[in-house]
Structures are given as C-alpha cells and as structure tokens.
Amino acid sequence: MVHAMTMTSDVLRTSAIRKRRDILARKGVWKISKMEERLSGPRGYVRAREEALAAGDSTYFVRVVEDRPYFPRLNVDPANQEESALNVAKVVVDHLSSESSKNDEGNANAGTLEYEGQISAISGGLTNALFKVDLKSPSLDDDSVSVLVRIFGAEGLIDRDEENATFARLCSSKSGGTDALVTHDRLDLLGRFGNGRVETFMPNMRPAHYVRDFGRGAVHAEVARQLARIHCFDAPEYLTNGNAETKRPALWGVITTWIDDLSQQLTEERFQDTKLLELFSEAAGCASSNSDDGDLKSHLMGEVLWLRKQVETRFPEAPVVFCHNDVNGGNILLDRTLDGKEAVYDKKSLAIIDYEYAAVNYAMFDVGNFICEHCGGNDDATPKYNLRPNRKRVRRFLETYTAERDSLLGSCLSCSSEKLDELCDQVELFEMASSLYWGVWGVLQSAGEVTGGSFKEDQSRDRMMGIIDTEEWDNLRY
C-alpha cells in the first residue's frame, strides 16, 4: 500500500485513500529510487536510521518503511512541543501531497511548506502527548486536512519499531476471510518521525468512559466483536520468531523484563517517592523494597511463577493469538453523535486504537484486562471495584466474542456451554495477570519513564493497591 498524494480531507480521513494509493503508484506519483529496496518490519526502521546516519546531517532525510514515509532525524522538541509538532505535521503532509515527494538524495522537499496551521492538545493519553493539527494550503482550495501528531512516551518499555510496523500492517489488513479491515477504516498511519508519528485524525469520536459507556450492552457487544477481529489477525513474523504455528505468549517475558528494570531502578535510586515503594512492597507481600537483598524482586518473580503455573496447569490449551493487550476506555473511541441515543454500535461508530503493547499473548488476557478496566482509576486514580462485571455479564461478552471469532474462522459450530465456562475461568485468572502487569508498569512510570502523557504517581499506587474482595484473587493484590 502507498499513500495518496492528493491533499483533501476525504483522502486522508477515509478509506478512499487505500483505493487511490496504488493508482498513484502505478502513475509514478509515489517515487522510490530504483536503487532502493523496499523496507519493512522493525529491521526496516533500523536500516533507515543507518542510511540517515550515513547520509550526513539532514533533518529531512526520508525513507519509506512499510509503505509510509519515515523521517528518522526529524523530532518534536520537548521544550517547544506545539510549534515543533506543527512543523512535523507540515513536513509529513507535504511529503504525502507532493508529486515529487523525494529528491535524489532521499531528502523531503522541506521548502514547500505553504500551509497555515492550528494545533491543539488532546487529553486522554496516559503515556503519549497528543495533538490535533489542522492544516490549510492554497492547493487545498476550500478544503483543509486534520491529522493527529503522537509524541511517544514510556520509552524503554515499548519497542517503537515493532509497534509502528505492526500498526501499519493492521491498518491495511483484513479480518479473517472477509473484506473488512481489522482496524477502523479511517484509522491509518501517515508517517513516522524520530520521536513520534502522524496519523489520520478521526473526527466526531470521543474516548469511552468506564462508567457511562462500559455499562451499555451495545458498547460491550461491539468491543467483543472487534477483539475477535484483532485476535484473528495474522501476527507478523517478527512477533512469532518466524513460526506462526507455535506462538509463545509474550506476557511472562514482558513482566519479567519489567521486574528486572524495576530492580535496576531501585539500585540506581531513581525513585523519589519512598511511600510509593513501601506501598508496593506491602502489596507484593514482602517486608522491604531494599534492592540489596533482592526482596521485592524475588517476591514479584514468585508471583509470576505462581501465576504462570496456574495458567499452564489449569489451561494448557489456552488460545494464544495476536492481542491488543491494553483495551481500556482511553483506547476505545465512540461516535459522539450517538450520545444520548439507544444506539447499536458497529465497526464505524466504535474504534479500538493504540496498539503500543500489542503482541502475541493469551486471548483471554485481552478480555481479562478489559474487565479490569471497568473499575476505572485512570482519570481520578480511584478505582471502583464494585463496577467489576459479574460472571453472567462476562459470559455474555464471551458469547458475542466467540460467535464473531468462529464466523471469521469459517466455523459453523457454536461455542459449547462447557467451553464458555472454561473461558470465564480463564478470564478470572488473567484479571490477576493484568493487575500484575500494569502494577509493575505503574511503578516504573513513577521512576520517570513517562515523558508526555497524563499518567501520575498516585495512579501508580492505585494500579497496585486495588484489592478485590473475592477468593479468586488469592494473594495477587496489586
């Protein structure tokens, strides 16, 4: 797929872009040097950075990776975010709209940015800084274009090369054997720069709220259907080590890595909030967070090993698929024109976004994580555990999920009652995994990993200290 160059909002905002890119490529509008090989996957981004380094000091060096422009030397200045984010948007949009988008040296035509622009911050990103940019140019006639500029945060916890390669493929992949895209048809990656990317902006959409929206059956049902579509996406080879048949869940490796990182942060005394560490130690069931005796790390690893044994012993055939891993209210967009109406949501009026943590994982981890998110806490740092859906409602969610999944896979058989009961049991176990996963993540953020989002230290406490009054949770209390 190649991005269209015509600068109209219809092209950049809707799926029409997908139909026009190939036509423009055949006409030679999208130009890639004959000397260049097509770059793809995480290694493609690494190769582009190597070429940029060899090319010398050029801010506007551009290379096409996953059929999208990548500017490895172009960055948003953290000290001047709005002005530099506006400039980045102009560069990427100008590159997409120009009929000669590259010169022979591989540099963008940085001198043709005749755009008037307005920029506004978008709230809701926990780890990323988000900006809406509205651009208008004489070449646009009476039209303008709006894009989303995302400035990455949580660096060190997310492999941005994997994330962006996967996001690009998701935006152009079909669900199962259908013609429907995995993602919303207006969601697309337009281009990447050094510390962020530019995406299509989705107008008239708002983040879902765990109280006002998660209790609505129509929202629940569509989230279930979209999770099924995501789970039917063929994971890229770099996420499966080249063996799609024997996919291994990333869950255990990620948590272990984060615990190691946490131990290192303790060793380097990166934490300023000693009370937070005491809370974390209490939640983990250990007497001290002292890094010298390794008490906290050993206790956390003990929880990981216990949980892994539970999963592998009780559910050795638990399905492992491509997962989103972070389906929460901020990552679910709803059509605001349906507010106040008895609406039936579908793939056009509900969108699951932000695939930063996407990886091969247990399918029911995604469901368990979504169930945990019903308790909230991201907006006011006060989770409300009485909002956790009961087993009957979880089962109803799974009925919708399995019906959509089986339809996409071409199965005529409905999921049995016994199998639904087993999936419910898996969900309860993976709710614990989600709490452990994001608990460790939250403490790492308090050590200073987040750079642009709205995540605060008090949210770290509540991600760890939430206690569910139910026997299923055992001693996993964070």
- pLDDT tens digits along 36-62: 678 999 999 999 999 999 988 788 999
**Residue 337 dihedral angles phi and psi, to the nearest 5°:** -70, -10
For residue 82, give Cα distances in angstroms to 96, 109, 155, 235, 455. 21, 22, 20, 35, 20
Of 323, 311, 331, the residue nearest 436 (C-alpha): 311
Both structure tokens of 27: 């006409």
- Measured CA to CA, the distance from residue 415 to residue 142 in angstroms comes to 53
pLDDT of residue 341: 84
Beta bridge partners of 173: none
What whole-number distance in Å separates Cα of residue 61 and Cα of residue 38? 16
Three-state secondary-structure class, residue 185 = coil
pLDDT of residue 178: 60
Q: Give me the pLDDT at residue 174, please.
A: 66
For residue 465, what are its two tokens?
């200290």
Please list, in sequence order, all residues whose beta carbon lies within 8 angstroms of the beta carbon of residue 224, skipping any fewer than 6 positions away.
Answer: 397, 398, 400, 401, 404
Q: What's residue 384's pLDDT?
A: 85
Residue of 34, 107, 115, 113 lying closest to 71 (CA atoms): 107
Query: In sequence order, what E strands does 26-177 have?
Result: 63-65, 68-71, 116-122, 129-136, 145-151
Going by the DSSP 8-state scheme, the letter that residue 247 receives in this structure is -
Cβ atoms of 70 and 49 within 8 Å: the answer is no
Q: List, for the chain, all residue ranges whose pLDDT scores fall below the cut of 70.
A: 1-36, 99-113, 124-126, 138-143, 174-180, 242-244, 268-294, 378-381, 447-478
- Where does residue 45 fall: left (phi above 0), alpha (psi -120 to 50 degrees), or beta otherwise? alpha
Q: How far apart are CA 51 and CA 55, in angstroms?
A: 6
Res 474: pLDDT: 34
Backbone angles phi, psi at 38, to 5 degrees: -70, 130
Residue type, 174: K
- Residue 389 near residue 378 (C-beta atoms within 8 A): no
Is-contact 149 81, C-beta < 8 A?
Answer: no
Q: Using one digit for the tens of pLDDT, what is the confidence trace for 15-41?
A: 334 433 443 344 333 344 444 678 999
d(CA 189, CA 205): 17
CA dihedral 336, 337, 343, 349 (to 10 degrees): -60
Q: Six-digit token pair at 75?
A: 């960055």
Per-residue HEC secondary structure of 419-474 comes to HHHHHHHHHHHHHHHHHHHHHHHHHHHHHHHCCCCCCCHHHHHHHHHCCCCCHHHC
**Given the structure tokens 């400039």, which residue do they identify?**
87
Q: In angstroms, rounded to a whole number, what is the distance separating the alpha carbons of residues 7 and 207? A: 27
Q: Tokens in use for 417? A: 């009652």
Tokens representing residue 208 in the block: 């879902």
